[in-house]
Amino acid sequence: MPLNSKNTLGQIKVSNDAIASLIGSTVCECYGVVGVVSKNIVVDKYNELLKKENYAKGVLISFKKNELIIDIFVFLSAGIKISEVVLEMQKRVKYTVEKTLNLDVKQVNVHVEGIKEV
Judge contact between 78 and 52, C-beta under 8 A. Answer: no
User: What type of residue sits at position 116?
Assistant: K
Judge contact between 113 and 47, C-beta under 8 A. Answer: yes
**Per-residue pLDDT of the chain in tens (118 residues, 90 and over written 9):** 567 778 889 998 988 889 999 999 999 999 999 988 887 765 555 567 777 778 788 899 998 887 899 999 999 999 999 999 999 999 999 999 999 988 899 999 999 988 888 7
pLDDT at 51: 77
CATH class belonging to 3-116: alpha beta
